[in-house]
Each structure stands twice: as structure tokens, then as C-alpha cells.
Amino acid sequence: DILPPGVVTGDDLFALLEHARANSYAIPAVNCTSASAANAAMEAGRKAMAPVMIQLSYGGGEFVVGEGVSNAALPGTIALALHVRSVAKCYGIPVVLHSDHCAKKLLPWFDGMLQADEEYFVRNGEPLFSSHMLDLSEETDEDNIAICVEYFKRMVPMKIWLEMEIGITGGVEDNVDNQDVDP
């Protein structure tokens, strides 16, 4: 019993990550595109009596609503985040709710998630998400850091964690393709 069950944020997220580091274990991160996928990930965590990270992506948010619907990423992501929030405690484990890889062209999606965090925070005293990721690896390091700093200023009052991608790691995430880049 590291922490109470349910979505963890702020200081509780720090405590969870420190516990994992101190005890040499990883927290699996599962990209989910539906309530059933999120439930399956949390059920696996329950069976293993271990925390899990539910990751929501732009493409996953589109899939939640339906890829044929325009501007579906934000409402789909918020809907799935609210679902996870509604049921996470049922699984008896800590759950990290994280947004994955947001490139510069997807910043309106990120802005919408932060607005949802702020609204949730006003009502509940904590943000909707535990953490977010900005993947500005296509930008210069200076622009990447400057943009992240501006967003982080908005996140700090809610104690939301920020993961930033700096440099080019290779691979494809939400249509950001760095496979052919020559470092």
C-alpha cells in the first residue's frame, strides 16, 4: 500500500516515483484508446498489485470518439481521462494519468487538456491528469525549453508533472517521424 488507490497527482505522484526508484521497479505505461483498454491495464495492475500509468495520446483521443469525426482528439482524450478518474479507485492501485507526445502542431490539444485540468482543479482540488508530455523535439532546444517553461508555469499551481522530449530520439509518435534524421 504505497498510496491510496486511484489517480495520483502532485506530491503523491512524486512519492510513487520515488518508491519505484528506491525499490528498483518500473511502472508500466500503457497507451489506451478505449475505456476497455484502460480497464484492462488497470485490471492487470490490480492482479499484479502494482501501479500503472495510463497514457492518452492525440491519436488515441481521436479513436475514442471516432476517427471520422473532425476535432475529436480533445473530447475523446477528456472523455477517457474522466472514465479513468471515475473507475481507477475500484482497482485498488495507484494510477498515473498521463498525456503522451504532444508536438508543436498539436498544442491546441495540449491547451484544451490544461483547460480541463484547471476546471477539474477548481471543482476537486487536483488536476484531471497526473502529468503531461510535450514532445517538441522537432524544434530548436531553445524554443523547446522556452515553450515548456511557459506551459510549466501554468501547470505548477496544480502540481502537474511535465515530461519534455528534448533532442531527437527516432521513431514515430502521432505523425512526428524522426526515423530518417541524421543527428
pLDDT at 135: 95
Q: Is residue 130 part of a domain?
A: yes
Q: Is residue 152 part of a domain?
A: yes
pLDDT at 160: 98
In whole angstroms, give the CA distance from residue 20 to residue 63: 31
Domain that holds residue 96: 6-176
Q: Is residue 59 part of a domain?
A: yes
For 86-113, the pLDDT digits (tens) are 999 999 999 999 999 999 999 999 999 9
State how many domains the chain has: 1
pLDDT at 94: 98
Average pLDDT on 66-72 reads 90
Q: Is residue 106 part of a domain?
A: yes
pLDDT at 32: 98
Is pLDDT above 80 for 171? no
Q: Which residues are catalytic?
A: 100
pLDDT at 178: 54
Given pLDDT bands bounded at 50, 70 and 90, which one contains residue 67?
Answer: confident
Q: Is residue 52 part of a domain?
A: yes
- Domain at 90, CATH number: 3.20.20.70
- Cα 131-90-80 angle, rounded to 5 deg: 45
Q: Is residue 157 part of a domain?
A: yes
Is pLDDT above 70 for 174? no
Q: Is residue 181 part of a domain?
A: no
Neighbouring residues of 26: CB distance < 8 A, sequence distance ≥ 6: 20
For 126-168, the pLDDT digits (tens) are 999 999 999 999 999 999 999 999 999 999 999 999 999 987 7
Q: Is residue 1 part of a domain?
A: no
Neighbouring residues of 103: CB distance < 8 A, sequence distance ≥ 6: 135, 136, 138, 173, 174, 175, 176
Average pLDDT on 12-31 reads 97
CA end-to-end span of the chain = 44
